[in-house]
Amino acid sequence: MIRFENLTKIFVLKKSRKLVADNINVTFPTGRSVALLGRNGAGKSTLLRMISGTMDPTSGRIASTGTISWPVGFAGSFHRDLTGAQNVRFIARIYGVDTDELSDFVETFAKLGGHYHMPIMTYSSGMRSRLAFGCSMGIAFDTYLVDEVTSVGDATFRKTSIDMFNQRMETAGSVVVTHSLPQIRKMCDAAAILENGRLTYYDNLEEGIATYESQMAKG
* Predicted confidence band of residue 15 (pLDDT cuts 50, 70, 90): confident
Q: Please state the rounded mean pLDDT for residues 136-147.
A: 90
> Does 138 reside within a domain?
no
Domain of residue 48, residue span: 1-67+143-154+173-219
Separation CA 161–CA 169 (nearest Å) = 12
Coil, strand or helix at 56: coil
* pLDDT tens digits, 97-112: 999 999 999 999 999 9
Q: Please state the rounded mean pLDDT for residues 176-193.
A: 91
Higher pLDDT, 162 or 199: 199
CATH of the domain at 26: 3.40.50.300
> Does 114 reside within a domain?
no
| pTM for the predicted model, two decimal places | 0.85
Q: Please state the rounded mean pLDDT for residues 91-96.
A: 92
Separation CA 181–CA 195 (nearest Å) = 18
Given strand 198-202, what is the order of strands in its sheet?
Answer: 68-71, 143-147, 173-177, 33-37, 190-195, 198-202
> Does 198 reside within a domain?
yes
* pLDDT tens digits, 190-199: 999 999 999 9
> Does 3 reside within a domain?
yes
> Does 127 reside within a domain?
no
> Does 33 reside within a domain?
yes
> Does 188 reside within a domain?
yes
- Indicate the number of domains in the chain: 1
Q: Is the confidence at residue 157, as pLDDT, over 90?
A: no
Q: How far is CA 193 from CA 1, 13, 64, 98, 136, in A?
A: 18, 25, 19, 37, 25
Separation CA 25–CA 21 (nearest Å) = 10
Q: Is the confidence at residue 211, as pLDDT, over 80?
A: yes
Give me the pLDDT at residue 200, please: 98
Which amino acid belongs to residue 117? Answer: H
Alpha helices in the chain (DSSP H): 44-52, 84-95, 99-110, 125-137, 155-168, 181-187, 205-218
Separation CA 78–CA 85 (nearest Å) = 11
> Does 39 reside within a domain?
yes
Q: Is the confidence at residue 151, as pLDDT, over 60?
A: no
